[in-house]
Amino acid sequence: MAAPQAPATTGKLVVRNVGLMLSGDLAQPILDADTVVAVDGRITQVGKAADCDTGGADRTVDAKGTTLAPGLIDSHVHPVFGDWTPRQSQLNWIDSFLNGGVTTMISAGEVHLPGRPKDVVGLKALAITAQRAFSNLPPAGVKVHAGAPVLEQGMEEQDFKDLAEAGVTLLGEVGLGGVKQGEEARRMVAWARKYGIQSTIHTGGPSIPGSGLIDADVVLEADADVIGHINGGHTALPLSEIGRLCESCGRAIEIVHNGNEKAALYAMRAAFDLGQPERVILGTDSPAGSGVQPLGILRVISLLSSLGDVPAETAFCFATGNTARMRELDCGLIEPRRAADFVIMDRAQHTAGKTLLESVRLGDLPGIGMVIIDGVVRAQRSRNTPPATTLPELATA
């Protein structure tokens, strides 16, 4: 998936004195490393300070023993234009998500645009415009992969070819438009896949006027790449149907903040029971009727760890490496050649947990001290999380 444009050169960044480094990789979620070096927005070295070339840095971050993780990825958002959402008549919501550690967002359709066009020419034009706009100017530096057309009746194979040639790489949430039947959706999803366009399907009861129930039979027949908000957005399917979805296909299991928490835990446990935790990815499904949740991804991580009994470092992988691999992104993992997108955190002040990971296992949120995108510091002490016990320090050459 093509990334929104980053600055051509951002110089050399060194992050040192990391106390805990989370990799984003389920196979090895914690790295034996205390230093990361990035040049022009790309990770070049990860390891111990003595083994890394830390000289000549344009920017040095002293993590002061805190935790470094890949920037969080929100797999399910509904942007419109710029940093504004008409759904809640709110400005700067993407900047608020940045303050919640989110560095990348994936659009599930620009459905909240007032007067959203539903004719084929109009919906294609909207998708291309959104893709171009967010690529040209990422709000607050957050990489928003946008331009996700909502399927409407009458679309033909040529339309998907046209979209792909124009740079569109995503389909909007199947079921939010006029296409709601499994057979029709399957045909269009297959056309999209043929041209390299990834698809997500609505799962559960209707979320907005015009949407409808999408049950397990429709989801399985449509065969989209991502089972969108498997825990409902907002209303979940019966747990038996969620279990059938997890068992009957190998597609991504997307758990969102704006869904049923009991169903979220059930879906995650089903993935582990199947030996397929790599399928679990996280989103917020916002902006939505329930509002805008800048800390939504952190809250889902805390929920799944504290009530789902998985290690916190594993839960962080759901929102980083798992999503990056499923969405074919160049971020989400702390390893050379990946994008230098990081969140630096510490346990919140006065949490009962003695470490950041223990505090998350207890259900608390971490305090964010810094967010870095493409090697550039985009936010320092978060205005939204509880205050971190220790904050990193930034020095420039």
Residue 5 is assigned to a structural domain of this protein: no
Selection from 167, 156, 151, 157 nearest residue 224 by Cα: 151
Clarify whether residues 18 and 46 are in a common domain. yes
- Read off the pLDDT of residues 176-196 as tens digits, 9 standing for 90 and up: 999 999 899 999 999 999 999
Q: Which residue has the tokens 């950041």?
A: 356
Whether 305 is covered by a domain: the verdict is no
Pair of tokens at residue 130: 């959104």
Tell me the per-residue pLDDT of 63-89, one tens digit each, with 9 for 90 and over: 999 999 999 999 999 999 999 999 999
In a domain, 42, yes or no: yes
Domain identity same for 171 and 37? no
* Last residue of one domain, picked from the residues 269, 294, 319: 294
Per the domain annotation, does 46 fall within a domain? yes
Q: What is the average pLDDT across 111-119?
A: 95
Lowest mean pLDDT among 123-132, 208-217, 286-295, 328-337: 208-217
Does residue 308 lie within any of the structural domains?
no
For residue 56, count other CB atoms closer than 10 A to its CB: 10
**CA–CA distance, 33 with 25 (Å, rounded to integer):** 14
pLDDT of residue 393: 97
Residue 6 has pLDDT above 60, yes or no: no
Verify that 63 and 99 share a domain, yes or no: no
Residue 190's alpha-carbon distances to 127, 156, 195, 218, in angstroms, are 19, 11, 9, 15
Q: Tell whether 365 and 283 lie within a shared domain.
A: no
Give the E-state strand segments of the chain in sequence order.
Answer: 12-16, 20-22, 30-31, 35-39, 42-47, 59-62, 67-70, 72-77, 84-85, 90-91, 102-107, 143-145, 200-201, 226-227, 252-256, 280-283, 342-346, 367-373, 376-379, 393-396
Closest listed residue to residue 106, CA positions, set 365, 284, 360, 350: 284
Residue 76 to residues 201, 287, 297, 393, Cα–Cα distance (Å): 11, 10, 10, 32
Considering the domain boundaries, does residue 246 fall inside one?
Answer: yes
pLDDT of residue 209: 65
Same domain, 195 and 107: yes
The number of residues making up the chain comes to 397
Please indicate, yes or no, if residue 320 is contained in any of the structural domains.
no
Is 324 within a domain? no
Decide if pLDDT at 311 tops 80.
yes
Say whether the peptide bond before residue 112 is cis (omega within 30 degrees of 0).
no
Ranges of beta strands (E only) in 249-330 are: 252-256, 280-283
pLDDT in tens, 11-52: 999 999 999 999 999 999 999 999 999 999 999 999 999 999
389: CATH: 2.30.40.10
Please indicate, yes or no, whether residues 147 and 272 belong to a single structural domain of this protein: yes
Task: For residue range 191-213, list pLDDT tens digits in order.
Answer: 999 999 999 999 998 876 666 78
Of 288, 283, 287, which is closest to residue 93 (Cα–Cα)? 287
Same-domain check for residues 106 and 32: no
User: Which among 212, 161, 220, 222 is positioned nearest to 187, based on CA atoms?
Assistant: 222
Q: Is the pLDDT of residue 115 over 90?
A: yes
Q: Which helix (H) or strand (E) holds 216?
A: helix 216-222
Long-range contacts of 112-118 (CB under 8 A, 24+ apart): 112/78, 112/80, 112/85, 112/86, 112/87, 112/287, 113/80, 113/81, 113/86, 114/86, 116/150, 118/150, 118/152, 118/177, 118/178
Query: Within this chain, do residues 370 and 253 fall inside the same structural domain, yes or no?
Result: no
Per-residue pLDDT tens for 347-356?
A: 999 999 999 9
Tokens of residue 119, six digits:
């004719």
Check which CATH number belongs to the domain holding 106 and give it. Answer: 3.20.20.140
- What is the average per-residue pLDDT within 157-177? 97
**185 and 37 in one domain?**
no
Asked if 105 and 253 sit in the same domain, the reply is yes
Last residue of a domain, one of 263, 294, 325: 294
- Residue ending a domain, among 294, 313, 345, is 294
Same domain assignment for residues 145 and 55: no
Count CB-CB contacts under 10 A for residue 108: 32
At residue 397 the predicted structure's pLDDT band, cuts being 50, 70 and 90, is confident
Do residues 31 and 126 both lie within one domain? no
Domain that holds residue 252: 72-294
Work out the average pLDDT over 57-65: 97
Chain position carrying tokens 């709601």: 180
Q: State how many domains the chain has.
A: 2
